[in-house]
Amino acid sequence: MPVKKKDEKYFLTCPRCGSTNVENDLSRDMVAWNTLNRYLCKNCNYSAPFFPEVSESGLPAFRKNIKFRTKRKKEIIERYSLSKGILNKKLSILLVCCYILAFSMLLLGMLLFLSGSLNVTMFFLLAIIVMILGFAFYQNRTHHL
């Protein structure tokens, strides 16, 4: 997407691969949630709310500098791709274990309830707490990548 500034053309440039083949990200989850405008690189499928505008003469230097990025800068760039939605987040084994434990507790509580035991409230309460803690940990871990 060329943008004309002064006498030189500027291009929205993908910070991950350096491509200028960038368009508005109109994917289903972006439109459905009515989120801020995001851009999508058609070469590497990177999506973020902000792409740098690089002048036509500065493109070769920008692309060359991609190779020399530190690990921290690469992580910052990837953070925006992860923030696209919950569908892009990798499931934590801890979250899966928490949910298995919580549903097992719910099942055990239901079995105790059906067998006539009256004190099953604690199983339901603990199961809900385990699910909430698992999800909170998962959100916190993926938010700070």
Residues 56 and 37 in one domain: yes
Tokens 């020399």 belong to residue: 68
Q: What are the start-end ranges of the E strands in 7-104?
A: 8-12, 22-24, 39-41, 47-48, 53-55
Tell whether 8 and 68 lie within a shared domain: yes
Output the six-digit token pair for 15: 């910070």
The residue among 64, 87, 110 that closes a domain is 87
The pair of structure tokens assigned to 100 is 């298995």
pLDDT at 21: 92
100 and 75 both lie in a single domain: no
67 and 21 belong to one structural domain: yes
- Residues of the domain holding 134: 93-143
Per-residue pLDDT of 15-60, as tens digits, reads: 888 999 998 877 655 555 555 677 888 988 888 888 889 988 888 8
3-class SS at 48? Answer: strand
pLDDT for position 143: 47
Domain count, the chain: 2
The 53-55 sheet, strands edge to edge: 2-5, 8-12, 53-55
What is the mean predicted confidence (pLDDT) over 126-143? 70
Same domain, 133 and 75: no
- Tell me, yes or no, whether 97 and 70 share the same domain: no
pLDDT at 138: 66
pLDDT tens string 54-92: 988 888 898 888 888 888 887 777 766 555 554 444 566
Same domain, 55 and 124: no
Asked if 15 and 65 count as a contact pair (C-beta separation under 8 A), the reply is no
